């Protein structure tokens, strides 16, 4: 404000004595803001073609006001701004700010939602124009000393603001056409290509990029419940736009973001999340960030597990929490979502075996029928395609459709997509292979599609081929995740476990893959090891050694070892050099879940392998402290396992001491007996 005051020249003595309404710095700033806003509105593009007439009128009024504010700035600098005019212009500023907010809000909306709400937008603009006309009418023009031509501009602007715009017949006709199209789709009538193209042209959706963007914005608006009245129509339009994207724009190349591969660098790892996007507890990418009462952000699953263990402190600061309420951190979640989109990472990709996340949109009749039409169109096109480039574009769309909902997955499977996708897993085209395996992963969520995949000729062999020699790590990772998804069915888990190549390729990924690939492969091993008859083949393929190599890196590795030990692999694990020591170290320093699993694995080793395992446990320095610490701070299951491990060690030590007492000639072995520490427990 001081600089503004210095910038304005001092009023003359005559002006000071004749009027107490001299110019001040705030008035000058208000005038500058008015001029800036008027210029912005004059230059603003209409947010959609069908609203061009509505916003063109705003632009014309704003251009008239720019000249008025330019003249007022000159007069205000000479100290000739009456107080009544100052107050009136401040109200004009508020109206112009509301105009700009309407323009910004409409520009951020989806085109289809804007069309559905076009009546409301036009009504809001009319109200603001009426408010502006009222303020211009009461502005004391005579006291401002404006030139006659400038005063005429004010009068013209006021008159135009009051003039009622003619009815937007074309806009209403377009809206009616869209609603009629939705009703036809509900009746299972396939839209005519020319008619669909004409409608999208009128809303400026004329290429695959704009169509994809419109779908994304619509899905977000539906999820945020921004237009309850039109939600049903918006859901139908999402399905209709997916159909239009395939029918009208199927010749377009998929966006690099949607099929992000790096064929030139097969060893490249997927992008690593920024530290701020990782949960301080699990160190994984946060899927649902929440803020605790200490102000720290955690992933909801991790902090809920922390509280479930009976803890009421902040894991990061150690502060005792006043309450255990969690508040969603929506701003951070939006940033994480944007980072995931920009780097081609699924929002839930940090969780093993998860297919691509689907928007939470409840389908209605029109959306379901549009999905059926889209699936049928894509599968027919894929069956008739003879070009790898065309195949990739169609498979890319099948992949996207398969993640949109269970109905879409069912329609794609029923249309016969699985037998057409399986041969593409052996393609030398990196993008095509990735899209095909990801499409199968998304389809495999549905149990009926699991059956189709398992019964498709060469499907398991093709998945093994991708895991072993896929063009990218992401393709290998998704192949392992598909094996995991198929293994969820008991019968298929046994079939996959009987195939030695499956175990070999999954183990290879655990040994050589980057972190995200290794995690999916370990999850597949964990699921396969749930069948006792699979454990022998898994151990023979080196599953125990591979899981041990991942101890300390992936918390699921300890769970794999516990599962193997439970079903016949205990002796093989004990015979691996350093296996017991690694499990004890994980029980000391791992995450809450990995400590629990490590303790469970050690208990199983002691029970199944007996003295060979217990002696190795007791030979490790400080093991008694690790056991007692877990008994005091672990989860309920971890405390039980730690207590059981302690009992096993004490029984073996007592038996060994008794045996040595009976054979005094035998050299006794010094044994550490697990007992409570001398320090009193708090």
pLDDT surpassing 90 at residue 223? no
What is the structure's pLDDT at 309? Answer: 72
d(CA 648, CA 131): 83
What is the structure's pLDDT at 262? Answer: 37
Q: Centre a 10 Å sphere on the Cβ of residue 16 and count the other Cβ atoms it contains.
A: 12
- Domain residue limits, the chain: 26-167, 170-250, 279-307+320-328
Contact 597, 582 (CB under 8 A): no
Contact 506, 480 (CB under 8 A): yes
**629-675 pLDDT, tens per residue?**
888 888 888 889 889 888 888 888 787 777 766 665 544 444 444 44
Q: Centre a 10 Å sphere on the Cβ of residue 475 and count the other Cβ atoms it contains.
A: 26
The number of C-alpha atoms within 13 Å of 462 and in the hemisphere containing its C-beta is 24
Nearby residues of 663 by Cβ (< 8 Å), 6 or more positions away: none
Contact 54, 165 (CB under 8 A): yes
Nearby residues of 153 by Cβ (< 8 Å), 6 or more positions away: 64, 65, 67, 68
- Residue 285 sits at φ, ψ, to 5 deg, of -60, 130
Q: List C-alpha distances in Å: 582 to 21, 128, 136, 518, 610.
A: 83, 71, 80, 18, 18
d(CA 397, CA 381): 11
Q: What is the mean pLDDT of residues 419-441?
A: 93
Q: What is the mean pLDDT of residues 203-210?
A: 88
Structure tokens at 260: 């992000």
- Nearest-CA neighbor of 271 among 279, 256, 261? 261
Contact 296, 267 (CB under 8 A): no
- Nearest-CA neighbor of 99 among 60, 153, 50? 60
Cα distance from N-terminal residue to C-terminal residue, the chain = 62
Contact 481, 526 (CB under 8 A): no
For residue 291, the cross-strand partners are: 297, 327
Burial of 339 (C-beta count, 10 Å sphere; 0-12/13-18/19+): middle
Share of the chain above pLDDT 90, in %: 24
Task: Please give the full DSSP string across 374-417, using - where no structure is assigned.
Answer: HHHHHHHHHHT---HHHHHHHHHHHHHHHTS-HHHHHHHHHTTH
Task: Identify the residue whose tokens are 């879940």.
Answer: 593
Measure the CA angle with vertex 325, ends 320 and 326; round to 5°: 110
* Homologous superfamily, domain 279-307+320-328: Zinc/RING finger domain, C3HC4 (zinc finger) (3.30.40.10)
pLDDT surpassing 70 at residue 80? no
Q: What is the mean pLDDT of residues 500-519?
A: 91
What is the structure's pLDDT at 79? Answer: 55
486 band by pLDDT with thresholds 50, 70 and 90: very high
pLDDT surpassing 90 at residue 190? no
Q: List C-alpha distances in Å: 219 to 102, 285, 328.
A: 22, 23, 20
Q: What is the mean pLDDT of residues 171-190?
A: 88
Contact 525, 507 (CB under 8 A): yes
pLDDT surpassing 70 at residue 455? yes
Q: Pick the most confident of 171-175, 276-280, 417-421, 675-679.
A: 417-421
pLDDT surpassing 70 at residue 166? no
Task: Identify the residue whose tokens are 């980072």.
Answer: 339
pLDDT surpassing 70 at residue 242? yes
Average pLDDT of every residue of the chain? 81
Question: Model pTM?
Answer: 0.69
Contact 444, 422 (CB under 8 A): no
- Nearest-CA neighbor of 646 among 657, 632, 660? 632
Contact 650, 618 (CB under 8 A): no
d(CA 656, CA 663): 11
282 band by pLDDT with thresholds 50, 70 and 90: confident
Q: What is the mean pLDDT of residues 476-505?
A: 92
Structure tokens at 492: 């298929």
For residue 285, the cross-strand partners are: 278
pLDDT surpassing 50 at residue 266? no
Task: Identify the residue whose tokens are 């520490």.
Answer: 677
What is the structure's pLDDT at 270? Answer: 53
What is the structure's pLDDT at 18? Answer: 34
Measure the CA angle with vertex 79, ends 74 and 85; round to 5°: 85
Q: List C-alpha distances in Å: 570 to 170, 577, 583, 584, 640.
A: 76, 13, 13, 15, 20
**599-621 pLDDT, tens per residue?**
999 999 988 888 888 888 888 88
d(CA 397, CA 374): 9
pLDDT surpassing 90 at residue 443? yes
Measure the CA angle with vertex 564, ends 560 and 568; round to 5°: 175
Q: Centre a 10 Å sphere on the Cβ of residue 321 and count the other Cβ atoms it contains.
A: 16
d(CA 11, CA 23): 8
pLDDT surpassing 50 at residue 268? no
d(CA 57, CA 380): 48
Q: Centre a 10 Å sphere on the Cβ of residue 255 and count the other Cβ atoms it contains.
A: 12
d(CA 583, CA 587): 6
- Nearest-CA neighbor of 591 among 551, 642, 562, 623? 551
Task: Please give the full DSSP string across 88-147, using - where no structure is assigned.
Answer: HHHHHHHHHHHHHHHHHHHHHS-HHHHHHTHHHHHHHHHHHHHHHHHHHHHS-HHHHT--
Task: Please give the full DSSP string across 168-228, using - where no structure is assigned.
Answer: -HHHHHHHHHHHHHHHHHHTTPPPPHHHHHHHHHHTT--SHHHHHHHHHHHHHHHHTTS-G
Identify the DSSP state of 48: S
What is the structure's pLDDT at 466? Answer: 94
pLDDT surpassing 70 at residue 20? no
d(CA 286, CA 297): 9
């Amino acid at each position: 404000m001081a600089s503004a005051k210095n910038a304005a020249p001092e009023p003359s003595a005559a002006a000071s004595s004749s009027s107490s309404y001299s110019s001040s710095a705030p008035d000058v700033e208000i005038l500058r803001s008015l001029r800036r806003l008027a210029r912005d509105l004059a230059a603003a593009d209409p947010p959609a073609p069908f609203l061009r007439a509505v916003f063109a009128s705003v632009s014309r009024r704003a251009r008239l006001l720019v000249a008025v504010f330019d003249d007022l700035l000159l007069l205000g600098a000479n100290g000739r701004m009456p107080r009544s005019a100052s107050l009136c212009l401040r109200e004009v500023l508020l109206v112009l700010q509301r105009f700009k907010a309407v323009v910004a809000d409409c520009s951020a909306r989806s085109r289809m939602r804007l069309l559905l709400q076009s009546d409301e937008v036009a009504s809001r603009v009319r109200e603001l124009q009426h408010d502006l006309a009222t303020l211009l009418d009461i502005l004391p023009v005579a006291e401002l000393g404006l030139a006659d031509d400038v005063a005429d501009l004010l009068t013209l602007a006021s008159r135009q603001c009051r003039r009622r715009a003619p009815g937007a017949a074309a806009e209403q006709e377009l809206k009616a056409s869209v609603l009629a199209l939705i009703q036809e789709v509900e009746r299972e009538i396939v839209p005519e290509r020319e008619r669909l193209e004409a409608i999208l042209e009128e809303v400026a959706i004329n290429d695959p990029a704009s169509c994809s963007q419109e779908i994304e914005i619509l899905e977000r608006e539906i999820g945020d419940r921004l237009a309850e009245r039109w939600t049903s129509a918006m859901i139908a339009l999402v399905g209709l736009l997916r159909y239009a994207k395939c029918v009208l724009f199927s010749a377009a190349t998929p966006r690099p973001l949607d099929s992000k591969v790096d064929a030139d660098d097969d060893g490249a790892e997927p992008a690593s999340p920024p530290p701020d996007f990782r949960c301080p507890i699990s160190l994984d990418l946060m899927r649902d960030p929440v803020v605790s009462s200490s102000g720290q952000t955690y992933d909801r699953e991790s902090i809920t597990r922390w509280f479930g263990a009976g803890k009421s402190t902040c894991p990061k600061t150690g502060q005792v929490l006043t309450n255990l309420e969690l508040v969603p951190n929506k701003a951070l979640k939006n940033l994480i979502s944007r980072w995931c989109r920009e780097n081609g990472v699924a929002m839930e990709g940090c969780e093993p075996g998860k297919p691509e996340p689907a928007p939470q949109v409840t389908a209605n009749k029109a959306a379901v029928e549009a999905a059926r039409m889209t699936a049928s169109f894509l599968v027919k096109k894929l069956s008739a395609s003879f070009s790898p480039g065309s195949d990739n574009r169609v498979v890319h769309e099948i992949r996207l459709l398969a993640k949109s909902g269970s109905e879409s997955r069912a329609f794609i499977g029923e249309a016969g997509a699985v037998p057409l996708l399986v041969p593409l897993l052996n393609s030398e085209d990196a993008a095509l292979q990735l899209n095909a395996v990801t499409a199968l992963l998304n389809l495999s969520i549905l149990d009926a599609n699991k059956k189709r995949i398992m019964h498709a000729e060469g499907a398991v062999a093709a998945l093994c081929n991708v895991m072993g020699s896929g063009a990218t790590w992401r393709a290998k990772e998704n192949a392992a995740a598909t094996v995991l998804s198929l293994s969820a069915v008991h019968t298929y888990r046994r079939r996959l476990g009987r195939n030695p190549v499956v175990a070999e390729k999954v183990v290879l990924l655990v040994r050589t893959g980057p972190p995200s690939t290794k995690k999916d492969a370990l999850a597949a091993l964990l699921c396969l090891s749930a069948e006792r008859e699979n454990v022998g083949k898994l151990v023979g393929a080196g599953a125990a050694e591979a899981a041990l190599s991942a101890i300390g890196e992936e918390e699921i590795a300890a769970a794999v070892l516990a599962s193997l030990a439970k079903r016949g692999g205990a002796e093989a694990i004990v015979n691996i050099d350093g296996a017991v020591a690694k499990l004890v170290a994980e029980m000391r320093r791992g995450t809450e879940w990995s400590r629990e699993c490590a303790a469970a694995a050690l208990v199983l080793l002691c029970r199944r392998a007996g003295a060979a395992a217990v002696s190795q446990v007791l030979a490790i320095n400080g093991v008694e402290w690790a056991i007692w610490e877990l008994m005091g701070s672990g989860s309920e299951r971890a405390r039980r396992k730690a207590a059981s491990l302690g009992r096993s060690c004490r029984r073996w030590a007592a038996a060994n001491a008794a045996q040595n007492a009976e054979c005094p000639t035998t050299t006794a072995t010094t044994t550490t007996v697990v007992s409570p520490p001398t320090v009193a427990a708090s």
